């Protein structure tokens, strides 16, 4: 099995290998490649991750080595899928900018159609043209201090995006110390009755993901700054999340989504309004034109 050891000092790495002498382990030095992900480090820019070789191998495997690159991974014609497994691995490791396209591609993986293959080819063509892009992880010193590490999240929703069942797509980005560490693109289980409701549910899904990361950090002894931040680009949803709206418009929303309101009341979570143009999670919820995709790509560290 492959094991990646991460610590805050070389001494701790050495101690790990000393403690693990009962197991036959081979120290391969500073990581340069792990499970298909290439790593490089720069003192100024931090860690950069890419899957260029994985993408190239995937293109060859599916006979798309000579495909002409395109500027976006999904077009407005709403295509479908094919070599989904490869796309999922790439999107989950280093390429949040293709997550929405891959989400679309997985809808008919049990019985792919011609349209699904067209979308698969488009994603592959986009990856071919952008295979050298690196996912950068570089901490912001202002987001770390004696009061702990800042953990924040961006949530967004594309209301009634799916034309088949009119369910909304949620998008979420989680950051730690100014670096993106997790993202999600997920169809909501229920049919939202308004944009506010869809944003409310997306915020709860993203917060749940962020809380999982916070608990993980606490388990390994990293102090987390309180409150954590949740960025939302819908004022009506923020009013509901903060408990300011007393009209009862959200009483019917499943109680499992209302835990966010409880965290906000306890001042553990601070909900912040974010302009739509600065909403990082926008890249995870909808079909975007090439210029906007490039803007958001930079906001999610690509």
Residue 153 near residue 231 (C-beta atoms within 8 A): yes
Residue 249 has a pLDDT of 62
**CA 152 to each of CA 110, 157, 163, 164, 175: distance values in angstroms, whole numbers, following the listed order:** 36, 17, 32, 33, 5
- Return the bridge partners of 47, or none: 41, 137
Sheet containing 46-50, strands listed edge to edge, beginning at the edge strand earlier in sequence: 33-34, 37-42, 46-50, 135-137
Q: 192: Cβ–Cβ under 8 A, 6 or more apart, which residues? A: 157, 159, 160, 167, 168, 198, 201
**Which residue spans of the chain are classified as CATH 3.30.420.10?**
139-299
How far is 148 from 299, CA to CA, in rounded Å?
23
- pLDDT, one tens digit for every residue, the chain (302 residues): 788 998 878 888 888 888 888 888 888 888 999 999 999 998 888 999 999 999 999 888 888 888 888 888 877 544 444 478 889 999 999 999 999 999 988 877 677 778 878 888 899 999 999 999 999 999 898 899 899 999 999 999 999 887 788 999 999 999 999 999 999 999 998 898 899 999 999 999 999 999 999 999 999 999 999 999 999 999 999 998 887 655 556 666 767 667 888 899 899 999 999 999 999 999 999 999 999 999 999 999 87
Torsion of CA 201, 206, 209, 210, to 10 degrees: -130
Residue 171 near residue 185 (C-beta atoms within 8 A): yes
- Return the bridge partners of 292, or none: none
Residue 272 near residue 232 (C-beta atoms within 8 A): yes
Residue 107 has a pLDDT of 78
**CA 79 to each of CA 108, 170, 179, 257, 276: distance values in angstroms, whole numbers, following the listed order:** 11, 20, 32, 32, 26
* Fold classification of 139-299 (topology level): Nucleotidyltransferase; domain 5 (3.30.420)
Torsion of CA 121, 126, 127, 132, to 10 degrees: 160
The model's pTM? 0.85
Neighbours of 286 (CB within 10 A): 15
Convert the pLDDT of each residue in 88-111 to its tens digit. 999 999 999 999 999 988 877 677
List the one residue out of 158, 160, 182, 154 whose CA is nearest residue 170: 158
Neighbours of 65 (CB within 10 A): 13
Residue 78 has a pLDDT of 44
Residue 208: exposure state from Cβ atoms within 10 A (0-12, 13-18, ≥19): middle
**Residues composing the chain:** 302
Pairing verdict, β 169-176 and 269-273 = unpaired
Q: H helices of the chain, where? A: 10-19, 52-61, 84-93, 99-105, 114-130, 195-219, 235-241, 259-265, 290-299
Tell how far CA 131 is from the center of its chain. Answer: 18
Residue 163 has a pLDDT of 78
């Amino acid at each position: 099995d492959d094991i990646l050891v991460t610590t805050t000092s070389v001494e701790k790495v050495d101690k790990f290998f000393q403690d693990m002498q009962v197991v036959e382990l081979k120290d391969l030095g500073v990581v340069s490649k792990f499970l298909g992900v290439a790593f490089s480090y720069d003192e100024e820019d931090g860690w950069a991750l890419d899957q260029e070789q994985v993408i190239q191998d995937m293109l060859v495997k599916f006979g798309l080595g000579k495909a002409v690159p395109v500027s976006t991974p999904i077009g407005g014609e709403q295509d479908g899928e094919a070599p989904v497994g490869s796309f999922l691995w790439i999107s989950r490791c280093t390429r949040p900018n293709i997550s929405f396209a891959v989400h679309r591609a997985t809808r008919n993986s049990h019985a792919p159609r011609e349209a699904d293959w067209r979308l698969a080819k488009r994603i592959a063509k986009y990856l071919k043209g952008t295979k050298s892009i690196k996912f950068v992880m570089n901490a912001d010193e202002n987001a770390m201090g004696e009061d702990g590490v800042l953990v924040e999240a961006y949530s967004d929703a594309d209301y009634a995006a799916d034309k088949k069942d009119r369910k909304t797509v949620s998008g979420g980005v989680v950051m730690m110390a100014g670096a993106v560490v997790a993202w999600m693109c997920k169809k909501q289980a229920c049919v939202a009755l308004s944009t506010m409701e869809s944003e409310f549910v997306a915020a709860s899904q993203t917060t749940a993901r962020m809380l999982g990361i916070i608990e993980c950090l606490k388990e390994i002894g990293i102090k987390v700054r309180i409150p954590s931040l949740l960025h939302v680009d819908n004022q009506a949803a923020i009013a509901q999340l903060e408990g300011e709206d007393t009209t009862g418009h959200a009483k019917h929303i499943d109680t499992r989504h209302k835990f966010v309101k409880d965290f906000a009341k306890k001042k553990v979570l601070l909900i912040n309004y974010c302009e739509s143009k600065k909403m990082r999670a926008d890249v995870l919820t909808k079909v975007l034109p090439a210029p906007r995709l490039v803007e958001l790509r930079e906001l999610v560290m690509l």
